[in-house]
Amino acid sequence: MAEVVVSKANLFPSSCHHQNMSVFPKTSGSSLSFSPKTDFHGKSIRLRRPFPTRSNLQFRPINSQLQQPGFRVGKARKWWVKGNQPNMKEVTSAQDLVDSLLNAGDKLVVLDFFSPGCGGCKALHPKICQFAEMNPDVQFLQVNYEEHKSMCYSLNVHVLPFFRFYRGAQGRVCSFSCTNATIKKFKDALAKHKPERCSLGPTKGLEEKELLALSANKDLEFTYTPKHVEHVSAKAAEEMIVTAPSRSSSESLPLPSATLKSGQISKERNTVSAGR
């Protein structure tokens, strides 16, 4: 390897003028020489290291810090979590969905079906958070389509974003799909079904055909017994119970002979009286 030899301590003295310096040096072998017009007077400068070649070049990636041990990259926050209110909850399973609807009582429940890759769902999410903040007495349930595809298929949900409204004993009161352009659908449904009311009967939740579809889905851990089967079994149990009439020891059944005899006596008396 060549060594660097500099004739002067200062490579760029004050007497050096830029207009007299050659921009492109002349090469000769492994050394470099500048034009004799400069203050170097043609003296050569030899470099300690050779020119970089393909064999001795070492490339370091821009994100080399990411490859160092102990370096962690923070996960981006999920957009469907940003701005969520206390009355917003993400459904974890089919059983969780059924229980959440039944435990809501007379409260209005909004079921929100979304997908992380749905642009319309992402654009509409801030609006849904605003509605949840303005209506704290309404329960919002979020169903991630990507995590619960099989459950959404059993519930016949094939369009996103999609909403279903449930209320007490009425069960499902409406269902529709909307975006930011058709957000009026959501406002109208909220204004129509939000007013306080008293439901007569137990909370319905999902329809029976939906519950049967969920229980028939092998991908879900959910069991359901149809209502008509429960009714038949209860009726059969009642028929199996035989209740005997309760009678006191003092009471006794009339004897057939005494009854017959009294009947004959009364008949003879009537005959005699008629003959008179």
Q: Which amino acid is at 47?
A: L
Distance CA(186)–CA(182), nearest Å, equals 8
CB under 8 Å to 67, separation ≥6 — which residues? Answer: 61
C-beta separation of 213 from 155 below 8 A: yes
**Catalytic residue of the set 118, 174, 178, 198:** 118
Annotated catalytic residue 178: no
Residue 29 DSSP symbol: T
Distance CA(17)–CA(13), nearest Å, equals 9
User: Cis link prior to 25 (omega < 30° from 0)?
Assistant: no
Residue 247 DSSP symbol: -
The closest alpha carbon to 224, from 239, 243, 205, 242, belongs to 205
Q: Return the beta strands (E) in the chain as ranges.
A: 26-28, 31-33, 44-45, 88-90, 108-114, 139-144, 162-167, 171-177
**Catalytic residue of the set 16, 121, 178, 198:** 121
Distance CA(140)–CA(111), nearest Å, equals 6
Distance CA(167)–CA(204), nearest Å, equals 8
Annotated catalytic residue 121: yes
Active centre residues (catalytic) = 118, 121
